[in-house]
Amino acid sequence: MSRRLLVAGNWKQNGTVASARALTAEIIAGLTKSGDGAEYLICPAFLHMAAVSQAVQSSPGVPLQVGSQDCGVHPDGAFTGDVGAGMLVDAGCSYAIVGHSERRQLFGDTDALVAQKFGVAQEAGLVPILCVGETLEERESGKLEQVIHRQLDAVLSTVWSLENATSTSLPVIAYEPVWAIGTGKTASPEEAQEVHHLIRSRLADNAGQISDQVRIVYGGSVKPDNAAELFAQSDIDGGLIGGASLKAPDFLSIGKAADQLMRNGL
Protein backbone atom coordinates (compact mmCIF):
# COMPACT_ATOMS: atom_id res chain seq x y z
CA MET A 1 0.00 0.00 0.00
CA SER A 2 1.54 3.27 -1.02
CA ARG A 3 -0.92 5.97 -0.21
CA ARG A 4 0.77 9.22 0.72
CA LEU A 5 -0.77 10.59 3.89
CA LEU A 6 -2.48 13.95 3.53
CA VAL A 7 -2.53 16.49 6.35
CA ALA A 8 -5.08 19.14 5.41
CA GLY A 9 -5.98 22.28 7.35
CA ASN A 10 -9.47 23.69 6.98
CA TRP A 11 -9.19 27.26 8.22
CA LYS A 12 -12.92 27.93 7.83
CA GLN A 13 -14.07 31.55 8.17
CA ASN A 14 -11.17 32.82 10.25
CA GLY A 15 -8.47 35.42 10.18
CA THR A 16 -7.34 38.38 8.15
CA VAL A 17 -5.09 38.59 5.11
CA ALA A 18 -2.21 39.42 7.45
CA SER A 19 -2.88 36.55 9.87
CA ALA A 20 -3.37 34.07 7.01
CA ARG A 21 -0.04 35.15 5.55
CA ALA A 22 1.65 34.84 8.95
CA LEU A 23 0.18 31.39 9.60
CA THR A 24 1.30 30.22 6.16
CA ALA A 25 4.83 31.51 6.77
CA GLU A 26 4.97 29.74 10.12
CA ILE A 27 3.83 26.47 8.57
CA ILE A 28 6.29 26.74 5.70
CA ALA A 29 9.11 27.43 8.15
CA GLY A 30 8.23 24.25 10.06
CA LEU A 31 8.14 21.94 7.03
CA THR A 32 11.12 20.13 5.59
CA LYS A 33 11.67 19.96 1.88
CA SER A 34 12.16 16.21 1.80
CA GLY A 35 9.61 14.38 -0.30
CA ASP A 36 9.37 11.24 1.81
CA GLY A 37 6.85 12.54 4.33
CA ALA A 38 3.19 13.44 4.19
CA GLU A 39 1.62 15.89 1.78
CA TYR A 40 0.32 19.08 3.44
CA LEU A 41 -2.60 21.22 2.38
CA ILE A 42 -4.07 24.45 3.72
CA CYS A 43 -7.53 25.71 2.84
CA PRO A 44 -7.93 29.41 3.65
CA ALA A 45 -11.02 31.55 3.10
CA PHE A 46 -11.49 32.60 -0.55
CA LEU A 47 -10.46 36.13 0.27
CA HIS A 48 -7.11 35.02 1.69
CA MET A 49 -6.32 32.59 -1.08
CA ALA A 50 -4.17 34.87 -3.22
CA ALA A 51 -1.92 35.91 -0.35
CA VAL A 52 -1.56 32.33 0.87
CA SER A 53 -0.87 30.94 -2.63
CA GLN A 54 1.73 33.59 -3.23
CA ALA A 55 3.55 32.63 -0.03
CA VAL A 56 3.40 28.92 -0.92
CA GLN A 57 4.57 29.49 -4.48
CA SER A 58 7.56 31.43 -3.28
CA SER A 59 8.71 28.41 -1.26
CA PRO A 60 9.25 25.77 -3.92
CA GLY A 61 10.04 22.27 -2.74
CA VAL A 62 7.97 22.51 0.42
CA PRO A 63 5.32 19.75 0.31
CA LEU A 64 2.47 22.21 0.80
CA GLN A 65 -0.56 22.80 -1.44
CA VAL A 66 -3.42 25.25 -1.30
CA GLY A 67 -7.06 24.22 -1.45
CA SER A 68 -10.48 25.83 -1.20
CA GLN A 69 -13.23 25.11 1.31
CA ASP A 70 -15.92 24.95 -1.34
CA CYS A 71 -16.38 25.39 -5.07
CA GLY A 72 -19.05 27.16 -7.10
CA VAL A 73 -20.76 25.14 -9.81
CA HIS A 74 -21.02 27.76 -12.53
CA PRO A 75 -18.47 28.91 -15.07
CA ASP A 76 -17.68 32.65 -15.18
CA GLY A 77 -20.78 34.77 -15.57
CA ALA A 78 -23.66 36.42 -13.78
CA PHE A 79 -23.53 34.53 -10.48
CA THR A 80 -23.25 37.24 -7.89
CA GLY A 81 -21.22 36.26 -4.87
CA ASP A 82 -20.01 32.93 -6.20
CA VAL A 83 -16.48 31.67 -6.80
CA GLY A 84 -15.99 29.21 -9.64
CA ALA A 85 -13.52 26.36 -10.07
CA GLY A 86 -11.59 28.23 -12.77
CA MET A 87 -11.04 31.12 -10.38
CA LEU A 88 -9.73 28.71 -7.78
CA VAL A 89 -7.23 27.22 -10.19
CA ASP A 90 -6.20 30.73 -11.20
CA ALA A 91 -5.67 31.62 -7.54
CA GLY A 92 -3.26 28.71 -7.09
CA CYS A 93 -5.57 26.06 -5.66
CA SER A 94 -5.04 22.42 -6.39
CA TYR A 95 -7.68 20.90 -4.11
CA ALA A 96 -11.30 21.77 -3.35
CA ILE A 97 -13.27 20.56 -0.34
CA VAL A 98 -16.88 19.76 -1.28
CA GLY A 99 -19.78 18.68 0.91
CA HIS A 100 -18.35 19.76 4.25
CA SER A 101 -21.01 19.17 6.89
CA GLU A 102 -21.17 22.91 7.63
CA ARG A 103 -22.06 23.53 3.98
CA ARG A 104 -24.59 20.71 4.08
CA GLN A 105 -26.18 21.82 7.36
CA LEU A 106 -25.92 25.62 7.28
CA PHE A 107 -25.99 26.42 3.58
CA GLY A 108 -28.29 23.74 2.23
CA ASP A 109 -25.79 21.83 0.09
CA THR A 110 -27.68 18.73 -1.00
CA ASP A 111 -26.12 15.47 -2.17
CA ALA A 112 -26.96 16.48 -5.74
CA LEU A 113 -25.30 19.89 -5.40
CA VAL A 114 -22.25 18.33 -3.76
CA ALA A 115 -21.97 15.90 -6.67
CA GLN A 116 -22.16 18.83 -9.08
CA LYS A 117 -19.42 20.68 -7.19
CA PHE A 118 -17.33 17.52 -7.17
CA GLY A 119 -17.66 17.17 -10.94
CA VAL A 120 -16.97 20.80 -11.71
CA ALA A 121 -13.89 20.84 -9.48
CA GLN A 122 -12.53 17.70 -11.06
CA GLU A 123 -13.15 18.98 -14.55
CA ALA A 124 -11.24 22.16 -13.77
CA GLY A 125 -8.25 20.11 -12.66
CA LEU A 126 -8.79 20.41 -8.92
CA VAL A 127 -8.65 17.35 -6.70
CA PRO A 128 -11.98 17.19 -4.91
CA ILE A 129 -12.06 16.26 -1.22
CA LEU A 130 -15.53 14.84 -0.68
CA CYS A 131 -16.68 15.09 2.95
CA VAL A 132 -19.09 12.51 4.29
CA GLY A 133 -20.24 11.85 7.82
CA GLU A 134 -23.20 11.11 10.02
CA THR A 135 -24.83 13.13 12.79
CA LEU A 136 -25.04 11.73 16.31
CA GLU A 137 -28.73 11.08 15.84
CA GLU A 138 -28.10 9.14 12.64
CA ARG A 139 -25.37 7.08 14.33
CA GLU A 140 -27.49 6.34 17.38
CA SER A 141 -30.47 5.31 15.31
CA GLY A 142 -28.40 2.80 13.33
CA LYS A 143 -28.34 4.82 10.10
CA LEU A 144 -24.60 5.28 9.82
CA GLU A 145 -24.05 2.93 6.90
CA GLN A 146 -27.09 4.20 5.05
CA VAL A 147 -25.98 7.84 5.36
CA ILE A 148 -22.40 7.18 4.30
CA HIS A 149 -23.56 5.13 1.32
CA ARG A 150 -26.08 7.78 0.29
CA GLN A 151 -23.48 10.56 0.42
CA LEU A 152 -20.92 8.50 -1.51
CA ASP A 153 -23.36 7.12 -4.05
CA ALA A 154 -24.53 10.59 -5.02
CA VAL A 155 -21.04 11.18 -6.37
CA LEU A 156 -20.23 7.66 -7.50
CA SER A 157 -23.36 7.45 -9.60
CA THR A 158 -22.90 10.71 -11.42
CA VAL A 159 -19.43 12.04 -11.81
CA TRP A 160 -16.86 9.70 -10.34
CA SER A 161 -14.57 8.68 -13.17
CA LEU A 162 -12.02 6.48 -11.54
CA GLU A 163 -11.28 4.44 -14.65
CA ASN A 164 -9.16 7.18 -16.14
CA ALA A 165 -7.68 8.55 -12.95
CA THR A 166 -4.04 8.36 -12.00
CA SER A 167 -3.12 8.01 -8.35
CA THR A 168 -2.18 11.69 -8.07
CA SER A 169 -5.42 12.92 -9.57
CA LEU A 170 -7.65 10.64 -7.55
CA PRO A 171 -10.28 12.34 -5.44
CA VAL A 172 -9.92 12.25 -1.67
CA ILE A 173 -12.69 11.28 0.74
CA ALA A 174 -12.87 12.87 4.18
CA TYR A 175 -14.82 10.98 6.81
CA GLU A 176 -15.98 13.58 9.29
CA PRO A 177 -18.54 12.43 11.84
CA VAL A 178 -20.61 15.57 12.42
CA TRP A 179 -20.67 14.97 16.19
CA ALA A 180 -16.87 15.12 16.30
CA ILE A 181 -16.41 18.40 14.42
CA GLY A 182 -15.30 21.23 16.67
CA THR A 183 -16.65 19.41 19.73
CA GLY A 184 -13.45 17.95 21.16
CA LYS A 185 -15.05 14.49 20.80
CA THR A 186 -13.02 12.33 18.46
CA ALA A 187 -14.11 9.03 17.02
CA SER A 188 -11.89 6.37 18.53
CA PRO A 189 -9.30 5.02 16.09
CA GLU A 190 -11.31 1.79 15.90
CA GLU A 191 -14.61 3.58 15.27
CA ALA A 192 -13.02 5.70 12.57
CA GLN A 193 -11.25 2.72 10.96
CA GLU A 194 -14.54 0.86 10.76
CA VAL A 195 -16.18 3.65 8.76
CA HIS A 196 -13.10 4.19 6.60
CA HIS A 197 -13.21 0.51 5.74
CA LEU A 198 -16.91 0.81 4.93
CA ILE A 199 -16.11 3.70 2.59
CA ARG A 200 -13.30 1.85 0.86
CA SER A 201 -15.50 -1.20 0.36
CA ARG A 202 -18.17 0.95 -1.26
CA LEU A 203 -15.57 2.48 -3.56
CA ALA A 204 -14.28 -0.99 -4.41
CA ASP A 205 -17.79 -2.15 -5.30
CA ASN A 206 -18.03 0.69 -7.78
CA ALA A 207 -14.50 1.21 -8.98
CA GLY A 208 -12.59 -1.97 -8.25
CA GLN A 209 -8.89 -2.10 -7.51
CA ILE A 210 -8.11 1.58 -7.88
CA SER A 211 -10.07 2.25 -4.71
CA ASP A 212 -7.01 0.94 -2.87
CA GLN A 213 -5.22 4.08 -3.96
CA VAL A 214 -7.90 6.55 -2.90
CA ARG A 215 -6.94 8.47 0.21
CA ILE A 216 -9.58 8.54 2.92
CA VAL A 217 -8.73 11.11 5.58
CA TYR A 218 -10.36 11.50 8.98
CA GLY A 219 -11.69 14.80 10.33
CA GLY A 220 -13.27 15.74 13.65
CA SER A 221 -11.23 17.10 16.56
CA VAL A 222 -7.90 15.79 15.31
CA LYS A 223 -5.25 17.08 17.71
CA PRO A 224 -1.53 16.53 18.28
CA ASP A 225 -2.27 13.95 20.96
CA ASN A 226 -4.61 11.73 18.94
CA ALA A 227 -3.26 12.10 15.39
CA ALA A 228 -0.67 9.29 15.45
CA GLU A 229 -3.14 6.70 16.69
CA LEU A 230 -5.76 7.69 14.13
CA PHE A 231 -3.36 7.87 11.18
CA ALA A 232 -1.88 4.48 12.07
CA GLN A 233 -5.15 2.74 11.17
CA SER A 234 -4.93 0.83 7.92
CA ASP A 235 -7.64 2.77 6.06
CA ILE A 236 -6.94 6.22 7.52
CA ASP A 237 -4.71 8.20 5.21
CA GLY A 238 -4.29 11.45 7.08
CA GLY A 239 -6.58 14.12 8.45
CA LEU A 240 -8.75 17.11 7.69
CA ILE A 241 -8.08 19.41 10.58
CA GLY A 242 -10.17 22.41 11.61
CA GLY A 243 -9.47 24.08 14.94
CA ALA A 244 -5.97 22.71 15.42
CA SER A 245 -4.90 23.86 11.95
CA LEU A 246 -5.17 27.49 13.04
CA LYS A 247 -2.17 27.10 15.32
CA ALA A 248 0.99 26.34 13.37
CA PRO A 249 2.68 24.35 16.17
CA ASP A 250 -0.37 22.08 16.53
CA PHE A 251 -0.80 21.63 12.79
CA LEU A 252 2.90 20.87 12.38
CA SER A 253 2.86 18.45 15.25
CA ILE A 254 -0.10 16.59 13.70
CA GLY A 255 1.87 16.57 10.46
CA LYS A 256 4.94 15.15 12.19
CA ALA A 257 2.85 12.17 13.31
CA ALA A 258 1.97 11.55 9.66
CA ASP A 259 5.57 12.11 8.48
CA GLN A 260 6.80 9.64 11.06
CA LEU A 261 4.34 6.97 9.99
CA MET A 262 5.28 7.42 6.36
CA ARG A 263 8.98 7.21 7.07
CA ASN A 264 8.42 4.05 9.06
CA GLY A 265 6.60 2.61 6.06
CA LEU A 266 3.30 2.95 8.01
Q: Is there binding between residue 134 and ligand PGA (CB under 6 A)?
A: no
Given the residues 39, 48, 100, 134, the one annotated as active site: 100
**Least Cβ distance, residue 259 to ligand PGA (angstroms):** 19
Residue 176 is among the residues annotated as catalytic for this protein: yes
Q: Which of residues 149-208 bind ligand PGA (CB under 6 A)?
A: 176, 181-182
Strand partners, 172: 129
Helix locations, the chain, DSSP H: 17-30, 49-57, 85-90, 101-106, 111-123, 136-140, 144-156, 189-207, 227-231, 248-263
Q: Which of 44, 99, 177, 220 binds ligand PGA (CB under 6 A)?
A: 220
**Least Cβ distance, residue 128 to ligand PGA (angstroms):** 15
**Site size with ligand PGA, rule: CB under 6 A:** 13
Given the residues 48, 134, 176, 196, the one annotated as active site: 176
**Least Cβ distance, residue 124 to ligand PGA (angstroms):** 22
Helix-strand-coil split of the chain, %, nearest 5: 45, 15, 40
Q: Is there binding between residue 240 and ligand PGA (CB under 6 A)?
A: yes
Task: Return d(Cα 227, Cα 245) in angstroms, integer.
Answer: 12
Task: Return d(Cα 82, Cα 84) in angstroms, integer.
Answer: 6
CA distances from 129 to 17, 23, 224, 260 (A): 24, 22, 22, 23
Q: Is there binding between residue 221 and ligand PGA (CB under 6 A)?
A: yes
- Per DSSP bridges, beta strands 95-98 and 127-132 are parallel
Q: Which of residues 8-37 bind ligand PGA (CB under 6 A)?
A: 10
Question: Based on CB atoms, which residue is closest to ligand PGA, 40 or 207?
Answer: 40
Amino acid identity of 45? A
Catalytic residues: 100, 176
Write out the residues near ligand PGA by the rule CB under 6 A.
10, 176, 181-182, 219-222, 240-244
